[in-house]
């Protein structure tokens, strides 16, 4: 019995060109060397990242701000962090090519004519392919989450191609192979397996096949691995990742900063109507349920954290946390500190008593950081 998984509807993934004014400002910055391979442009990063994120959400079938639990939130964070870095590295590649072009064509007018053609190739032809791959990979990641949740009913997966004359021969050899969900086969051949790949996997309870062990097919760079397990819609063997260690570190830090700014603004707007009126969190050791104010949201999202964007977006699921998720650390002088460990990050939640006339009026959430140093 096969159980296919399909996309949700309701997302607009029509291709949108990068704004002409942003492209012009970008070219001006590259020529003037105010934009460098290790000092990327925020506006161009935003243009690329926002499109990638929209296509990822379309592939998954829901907005990442709508995570239903901590596990799903973690999956979304892995995808967002992969896409923010991919957007930054894409720009790094464009800048490098434009700089090489300037060496060969130092005249501004001649350089800009050629530079516009180069930028069009990256921002249209390449970007279209990258967005299509993002949608397909996010759909595959969502499917994997579903597969894991019902593996007790349907323990095996079957590889299926689109079944028409357009199917690549190297993909055709995988068609019909059935393997257990925990088989290493899926660590290599879980689709998509290349640009424009239309292959899919169907969950089934039919018996595993004996074929597949000797498949002679190496997925192209950027598509190797199981996106459902890693959350990386683009693998680190993609050519964009071929940068020096120092440049990559600088680019990662800038992408984190840009992402933190974007999520801070989005979370603050969302919290006014969706979080502040409804937030009530009862935890062991707290004398009463905690509430949150708009001012506290502002303070939380302005505070320090090694990955401020994930800290900001933790507020999307904070109502769904419990004493099983948060480990009580200590409490003194009206302060209570809890620790959440997830996605290789630490989140210390600092609750405090708000008092009037020696009476506890409410328990507020003062900060979420990664050091645990706030409080008394």
Tell me phi and psi for residue 200, to 5 degrees.
Answer: -145, 170
**Tokens describing residue 121:** 């190739």
Helix (H) or strand (E) holding 343: none
- Pick from 332, 337, 325, 334: which is nearest to 373 by CA? 337
Q: Which of 62, 78, 197 is nearest to 132 (CA)?
A: 197
Selection from 85, 62, 78 nearest residue 254 by Cα: 85
Q: Which residues does 121 contact at the CB level (< 8 Å), separation at least 6?
A: none
The CA angle 185-344-236, to the nearest 5 degrees, is 50
| DSSP β-bridge partners for residue 259 | none
Element (H, E) at 190: none
Positions in the chain whose pLDDT score sits under 70 = 1-9, 212-214, 374-376
Total residues found in the chain within this entry: 376
Residue with tokens 């935003």: 46
Say how many C-beta atoms besides its own lie within 10 A of residue 373's C-beta. 11
Longest Cα–Cα distance of the chain, Å, equals 78
Q: So what's the pLDDT on residue 4? A: 41
What letters, b where the CB count within 10 A reaches 16 and e where it falls short, cover 32-42?
Answer: eeebbbbebbe
Q: What angle do CA 326, 330, 334 make, to 5 degrees?
A: 105
pTM above 0.95, yes or no: no
Distance CA 121, CA 119 (A): 5
Radius of gyration for the chain, computed over Cα atoms and rounded to the nearest angstrom: 24
**Which residues are CB-neighbours of 97 under 8 A, at least 6 positions away?**
118, 122
pLDDT of residue 3: 40
18 neighbors 43 (Cβ within 8 angstroms): no
d(CA 301, CA 55): 26
Report pLDDT for 214. Answer: 61
Q: What is the pLDDT of residue 37?
A: 95
């Amino acid at each position: 019995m096969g159980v296919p998984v399909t996309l949700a509807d309701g997302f607009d993934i029509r291709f949108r060109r990068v704004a002409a004014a942003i492209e012009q400002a970008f070219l001006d910055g590259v020529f003037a060397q105010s934009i460098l391979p290790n000092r990327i442009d925020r506006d161009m990063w935003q243009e690329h990242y926002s499109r990638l994120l929209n296509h990822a959400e379309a592939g998954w079938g829901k907005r990442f701000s709508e995570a239903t639990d901590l596990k799903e939130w973690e999956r979304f964070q892995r995808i967002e962090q992969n896409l923010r870095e991919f957007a930054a590295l894409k720009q790094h590649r464009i800048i490098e090519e434009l700089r090489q072009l300037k060496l060969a064509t130092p005249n501004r007018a001649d350089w800009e004519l050629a530079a516009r053609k180069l930028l069009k190739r990256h921002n249209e032809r390449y970007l279209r392919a990258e967005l299509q791959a993002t949608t397909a990979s996010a759909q595959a990641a969502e499917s994997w989450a579903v597969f894991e949740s019902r593996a007790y009913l349907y323990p095996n997966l079957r590889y299926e191609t689109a079944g028409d004359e357009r199917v690549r021969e190297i993909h055709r050899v995988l068609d019909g192979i059935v393997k257990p969900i925990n088989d290493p086969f899926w660590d290599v051949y879980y689709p998509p397996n290349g640009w424009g790949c239309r292959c899919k996997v169907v969950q089934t309870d039919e018996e595993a096949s004996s074929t597949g062990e000797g498949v002679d097919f190496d997925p192209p760079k950027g598509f190797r691995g199981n996106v459902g397990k890693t959350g990386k819609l683009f693998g680190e063997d993609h050519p964009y990742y071929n940068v020096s260690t120092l440049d990559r570190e600088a680019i990662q830090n800038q992408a984190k900063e840009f992402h933190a700014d974007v999520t801070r603004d989005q979370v603050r707007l969302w919290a006014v109507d969706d979080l502040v009126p409804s937030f009530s969190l009862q935890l062991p050791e707290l004398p009463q349920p905690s509430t949150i104010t708009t001012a506290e949201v502002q303070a939380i999202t302005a505070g320090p954290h090694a990955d401020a964007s994930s800290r900001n977006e933790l507020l999307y699921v904070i109502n769904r946390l419990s004493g099983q998720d948060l480990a009580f650390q200590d409490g003194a002088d009206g302060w209570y500190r809890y620790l959440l460990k997830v996605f290789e990050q630490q989140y210390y939640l600092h609750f405090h008593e708000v008092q009037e006339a020696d009476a506890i009026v409410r328990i507020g959430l003062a900060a979420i950081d990664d050091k645990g140093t706030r409080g008394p």
